[in-house]
Amino acid sequence: MSGKTLYDKLWDDHLVKQNSDGSALLYIDRHLLHEVTSPQAFEGLRLAGRKPWRIDTNLATPDHNVQTTDRSGGVDSIVDPISRIQVKTLDENCDSFGITEFKMNDARQGIVHVVGPEQGATLPGMTVVCGDSHTATHGAFAALAHGIGTSEVEHVLATQCLIAKKMENMLVRVSGQLGVGVTAKDVVLHIIGVIGTAGGTGYAIEFGGDAIGSISMEGRMTICNMAIEAGARVGLVGVDDKTIAYVKDRPFAPKGPQWEQAVEAWKNLVSDDDAEFDHVVEINAEDILPQVTWGTSPEMVAPVTACVPDPAQMSDPVKREGTERALHYMGLKPNQKLTDIQLDRVFIGSCTNSRIEDLREAAAVVKGKKVASSLKQALVVPGSGLVKQQAEAEGLDKIFMDAGMEWREPGCSMCLAMNPDKLGAGEHCASTSNRNFEGRQGFGGRTHLVSPAMAAAAAVVGRFVDIRDILSA
Amino acid sequence: MKKFTQHQGIVAPLDRANVDTDMIIPKQFLKSIKRSGFGPNLFDELRYLDEGQPDQDCSQRPLNPDFVLNKPRYEGCSILLARKNFGCGSSREHAPWALEDFGIRAIIAPSYADIFFNNSFKNGLLPIILEEATVDALFQAVEANEGYQLTIDLEKQVVIQPDGTELVFDIDAFRKHCLLNGLDDIGLTLEQADAIRDYEAARRQTAPWLFS
Q: What does the pLDDT average to over A162-171?
A: 97
pLDDT in tens, B117-148: 999 999 999 999 999 999 999 999 999 999 99
Q: Which residues of A touch B2 (CB under 8 A)?
A: none
The crossing angle, in degrees rounded to 10, of helices B173-181 and B114-121 is 40
pLDDT in tens, A215-227: 999 999 999 999 9
Distance CA(B20)–CA(A158), nearest Å, equals 29
pLDDT at B212: 82
B210 alpha carbon, distance to own chain's centre: 36
Looking only at the bridges linking them, the beta strands covering A15-18 and A58-60 are unpaired
Distance CA(A191)–CA(A176), nearest Å, equals 15
Distance CA(A442)–CA(A377), nearest Å, equals 14
pLDDT at A21: 84
pLDDT at A455: 98
pLDDT at B176: 96
Q: Inform me whether the pLDDT recorded for B2 exceeds 90.
A: no
The crossing angle, in degrees rounded to 10, of helices A385-393 and A356-366 is 40
Nearest one of A112, A106, A116, A137 to A385, comparing CA atoms: A106
pLDDT in tens, B77-119: 999 999 999 999 999 999 999 999 999 999 999 999 999 999 9
pLDDT at A271: 98
Q: What does the pLDDT average to over B49-70?
A: 96
Q: Are A75 and A84 in contact (CB under 8 A)?
A: yes
Q: What does the pLDDT average to over B165-172?
A: 98
Q: What does the pLDDT average to over A107-114?
A: 98
pLDDT at B78: 98
Kindly report the nearest CA distance between residue B117 and chain A, in angstroms: 10
pLDDT at B157: 98
Q: Do A40 and B33 touch (CB under 8 A)?
A: yes
Please give the ipTM for the structure prediction.
Answer: 0.96
Kindly report the nearest CA distance between residue A150 and chain B, in angstroms: 6
Q: Inform me whether the pLDDT recorded for A473 exceeds 80.
A: no
Q: What does the pLDDT average to over A114-126?
A: 98
pLDDT at B1: 82
Q: Do A21 and B172 touch (CB under 8 A)?
A: yes
Encode burial over B128-160: b for 16+ CB neighbours within 10 A, e otherwise. bbbeeeebeebbebbeeeeebbbbbebeeebbb
Give A62's contacts (C-beta < 8 A, 6+ positions apart). Answer: A34, A35, A75, A87, A90, A91, A103, A104, A109
Nearest one of B174, B4, B14, B46 to B110, comparing CA atoms: B14
Distance CA(A73)–CA(B15), nearest Å, equals 47
For residue A363, CA distances in Å to A397, A450, A454, B22, B135 come to 9, 15, 11, 31, 50
pLDDT in tens, A407-460: 999 999 999 999 999 999 999 999 999 999 999 999 999 999 999 999 999 999
For residue B123, CA distances in Å to A19, B11, B35, B182, B190 come to 22, 20, 11, 9, 19
Q: Are A226 and A189 in contact (CB under 8 A)?
A: yes
**Amino acid symbol at A339:** T
pLDDT at A273: 97
pTM of the entire structure?
0.97
The order of strands in the sheet holding A15-18 is: A15-18, A24-27, A161-164
For residue A67, CA distances in Å to A37, A79, A83, A413, B29 come to 18, 8, 10, 7, 17
Residue of B nearest to A443 (CA): B51
pLDDT in tens, A240-257: 999 999 999 999 999 999
Give A276's contacts (C-beta < 8 A, 6+ positions apart). Answer: A2, A3, A5, A169
Q: Do A435 and B118 touch (CB under 8 A)?
A: no
Distance CA(B158)–CA(B170), nearest Å, equals 9
State the pLDDT confidence band at A344, using cuts at 50, 70 and 90.
Answer: very high
The order of strands in the sheet holding A377-380 is: A406-407, A377-380, A345-348, A428-431, A446-449
Q: Do B45 and A438 touch (CB under 8 A)?
A: yes
Kindly report the nearest CA distance between residue A392 and chain B, in angstroms: 31
